[in-house]
Chains A and B, each alone.
Chain A
Amino acid sequence: MEETVLSIQHLSKNYGRIRAVDDLSLDVHKGNVYGILGPNGSGKTTTLGIILSVINPSGGEFSWFGKIPTKETRKHIGAILEVPIFYPYLSGEKNLKIIADIKSCSYDGIADVLQTVDLTERKKSKFKTYSLGMKQRLAIAAALIGDPEVLIFDEPTNGLDPQGIAEIRELIIRIAVHGKTIILASHLLDEVQKTCSHVVILDKGKNLFAGKVSELTAAPMHVEVGAENMEDLEKYLNENENVIGIEKENMILVVKLKEGYKGAALNEFLLSKGVLLTHLGARKKSLEKYFLELLAEK
């Protein structure tokens, strides 16, 4: 059985009549990377704020490492919430020192984390002189201080350049390899698909789905096919009762198959009709597609 790092039970938060978080329950297990998805205002930041003890919940409870949350449990968590928050008139390095002091850990790791986010050269500059991307990087460095067991990132790549986004993604994967638990709220579905093992989908404060990313994207229900003679191809596909749907897409057809009917069987069938395929590929459903479908169903 996997070790539970965070357990959330029936959590809710009301802002007047708005239910920002609505009876949310969730278990987070050690060593996994969780992506939290949801449209704007679905309660991602509010939920993270509650489990970091900066927002008081209206109801429900949560525990960290099987304990009642205290400042001591928070010292084992590195987190950024929404935007990088630092003292603008202090240098990046001094800001990190304050965080190390609060976490009661030594300054030894500071040089390392600065190196990790590529800010060593600018460590003496005041925070307010940083570019948006640099601020974001410093926030990630701050979260890494003290080698925490859990990392919480709320939109960590906000404002980063493509190279920066790729670097942060690499970094997250690298940290995850070391057995850290990561919770990542993001709007970049592709990023979540590439970095996360698990996904939680929120909508209007409710938990719509929680499970493995692979579960969502595994079933290859769609097959791409292409042939010299596209008309024949389409004609015979229409004759096959195992084909539920055909969609035209540029130079190929995307075919939806009945469950259990595989691409190989389709190929065999078409060969028997004298159609030689020039292209055959299984198409994995993207997280994005699933996400949008799920929200549309609501």
Chain B
Amino acid sequence: MIRLLKIEFKKISSNRTFWILSGLYALLIILFFFGIQSVIDDLAEEANKKSPIPLPGLSAYSLPDIWHNLTYIAGYFKIFLAVIVIILITNEYTYKTIRQNVISGFSRWDFLKSKLLTIGVISLAATILVFIIGLILGLIHTEDISAGKIFGKSEFLLAYFLEIYAFLTFAFFIGFLVKRSGLALGLLLLYYYILEPVARYKLPDEVGNYFPKKAIGTLIDIPNTSIMRLFGVEFQDYISLIDALVVVAYILLFGGLSYWILKKRDL
């Protein structure tokens, strides 16, 4: 496993596109969360002032709620990571290096495993980034800090990791299927923003809720704000085990499909 990751790291080490995109992603996330902290806090405060009943939890950034809020919002940026993953896999096809890897002594499974491990590392890095940002912002915005507050709701971080990993496996699968980066990204966006929403619109929720985008996207549900509570809208403010299992099932499905294709395909 370590050996495969080492090889993968060598491949990536001088890949400028990879590092630029990764850097941009990190920068974007950091600037976004630090930049909007005052805006969000103002909004929260405004909302609470206007509400007839005084509501607790003034700041969106207070621990432990911040884990939910942050992971939910950060989820919107995952498409950036998908671009990186798509480039990583389609490059192996455009350069034909997947062929040379196998000739040199990789099994097809080794190749797939090295990519899935890389996706795992990327997801882990994204989770750690959110954790660090959350910790800094949370400590600033929370009164009476305690370990319980810091680590309460930390299951959202785990869920965030799952969400990213599943989404990236999906992106990887599409990249793997069509072999070309532009096409793969186009297909991913098409599916995410048109195909699935349209299909779900036509289908009952019991079915639609299990579609990949929906299942992956609602693992972490919309955080309930004071205003929403006021209107009686309640979203799920915990991670359900069933939801998580569905997401894991998707990871296995897309990983398995990729393996099946890789076995059948001439390189």
Residues on A facing B (Cβ under 8 Å): 49, 52-56, 70-72, 74-75, 77, 79, 81, 83, 85-91, 94, 97-99, 101-104, 126, 142
Contact = CB atoms under 8 A, between A and B. Distances in A.
B97 A86 contact: yes
Interface of B: 3, 6-7, 10-11, 13-16, 95-97, 99-107, 110, 264-267
A54 B110 contact: no
Nearest to A85: B100
Given A54-B99, A55-B266, A87-B95, A98 B105 contact: no
Contacts of B99: 54, 81, 85
A54 B7 contact: no
Given A49-B266, A88-B95, A102-B106, A94 B101 contact: no
A53 B102 contact: yes
B101 A97 contact: no
Contacts of B266: 49, 54-56
8 contacts: A72-B105, A85-B95, A85-B100, A87-B15, A87-B97, A101-B10, A102-B101, A103-B104
A79 B7 contact: no
A129 to B, nearest CB: 13
Contact of B7 (A49, A52, A70, A98): A98
B267 A86 contact: no
B1 to A, nearest CB: 14
Contacts, number: 79
A102 B97 contact: no
Nearest to A15: B266
A81 B103 contact: yes
A75 B105 contact: yes
A74 B95 contact: no
B82 to A, nearest CB: 21
Contact of A55 (B13, B14, B16, B267): B267
Given A71-B107, A85-B97, A98-B7, A54 B15 contact: no
A94 B107 CA distance: 21
Given A71-B110, A74-B105, A101-B3, A56 B264 contact: yes
Given A52-B103, A55-B267, A79-B103, A85 B3 contact: no
B105 A85 contact: no
Contact of B14 (A52, A94, A99): A94
B104 A102 contact: yes
Nearest to B114: A102
A99 B102 contact: no
Nearest to B105: A75
Contacts of B267: 54-55
Contacts of A94: 10, 13-14
Given A56-B264, A85-B99, A99 B16 contact: no
| 3 cross-chain pairs, A with B, having the tightest CB-CB distances, nearest first | A75-B105, A85-B100, A54-B267
A56 B95 CA distance: 20
Contacts of B103: 52-54, 74, 77, 79, 81
B97 A74 contact: no
Contacts of B104: 74-75, 99, 102-103, 142
Contacts of A90: 10-11, 13-14
Contacts of B6: 101
B105 A102 contact: yes
Contacts of B10: 90, 94, 97-98, 101
A110 B71 CA distance: 46
A90 B10 CA distance: 9
A55 B263 CA distance: 10
A56 B99 CA distance: 12
B258 to A, nearest CB: 17
Contacts of B96: 83, 85
Nearest to A55: B266
Contacts of B101: 102
A87 B15 CA distance: 9
Contacts of A103: 104-105
Q: Which of A49, A56, A79, A87 has the most CB of B within 10 A?
A: A87
Contacts of B105: 71-72, 74-75, 102-104
A53 B262 CA distance: 12
B15 A89 contact: yes
B14 A70 contact: no
Contacts of A70: 107
A74 B101 CA distance: 11
